[in-house]
Amino acid sequence: MVSRARPCAGALLVCAAIAVSCCWDFQGANAAAPTPSFGDNFEITGAEDHVKTSPDGQTWYLSLDNKTGVGFQTKQKYLFGWFSMKLKLVGNDSAGVVTAYYMCSDLDAAPQRDELDFEFLGNRTGEPYIIQTNVYRSGVGGREMRHSLWFDPTVDFHSYSILWNPKQIVFFVDKVAIREYRNSDKPNMFFPIAKPMYVFSSIWNADDWATRGGLEKTDWTKGPFVSSYSDFTADACAWASGPAPPACAAVTGDSWWDQPPAWALDKGQRQDNGWVARNLMIYDYCDDRKRFPTVPEECALRTATTS
């Protein structure tokens, strides 16, 4: 893990077409250090014959067929930090296929798990992917948001990142803040804050719900379905074995992701996030009165304007 980087403001230029730019502050990266391979950071979960690796060890390919899917998980768990991965999603007809990139406090779907999710919902050829994000606390989720993207995620690699600290969780796509999820000082807030998490990814068949609510089924004649991964970065607080939290988990620590500039979106990020909400949002649980007759209290903490 050698990339020490953080996003900067104003990644989107909103005009007739979207232009994405980015800048990075490198936080003490050692350019002379060897780049770790995926195998240094991750271990495979599932059928190992459904994973391929590039000759340099930097890119992994996960394959789904009508027999099984596959996944991987980090060897290390973390409490707070910046987590980023580049993905290229399944191309052509991917209806029913879900590629998941997420963080979870447990190695299985434990009833009391905390979780932060990116889920990429495949579609029929020519139809756009949908990106779903979700937040779980103590086994309870239901905080789904869905967006379309401003690019085709099957053509090239794009970065998908999570900033997690005690003040906020932000989901980024190519350094654009697509979702802001904030904490407050109120007791019992719906915010995962105490449990360290592993980083996972997987590809699996979810044609009972993923595409048009399950109306579009996976066409196995188009398989195998392959998702690709590279450039994993975890600039984060690694949690060693044992009950005591590491020193880096303390608020106002030494890391950039736990200092005041990372505790809220800046002006440019709020503008980007507002544009995404106005133009790319498909579903927001905060607006779903059927599921939530009373608006969840974290919804009122958002700082980006949608007007």
The per-residue pLDDT for 39 is: 82
The per-residue pLDDT for 31 is: 38
The per-residue pLDDT for 16 is: 33
d(CA 242, CA 174): 35
Catalytic sites, residue numbers:
115, 119
Count Cβ neighbours within 10 Å for each residue of 266-277 and write b for 16 or more, e otherwise: beebbbbbbbbb
> pLDDT tens across 118-174, in order?
999 999 988 999 999 999 999 999 999 999 999 999 999 999 999 999 999 999 999
Of 114, 112, 113, 132, the C-alpha closest to 122 is: 132
d(CA 8, CA 219): 41
Alpha-carbon distances of 304 from 121, 178, 220, 298, rounded to whole Å: 26, 10, 42, 13
d(CA 194, CA 192): 6
The per-residue pLDDT for 87 is: 98
The per-residue pLDDT for 34 is: 58
Exposure on the CB side of residue 82, measured as CA atoms within 13 A:
24
Count the Cβ atoms, other than its own, within 10 Å of residue 81. 22
Of 218, 229, 228, 226, the C-alpha closest to 63 is: 226
> pLDDT tens across 26-38, in order?
343 333 445 677 8
Residues of the chain where predicted confidence (pLDDT) is lower than 50: 1-9, 13-33
CA 131 to chain centre: 10
d(CA 18, CA 22): 13
d(CA 92, CA 102): 24
pTM: 0.90
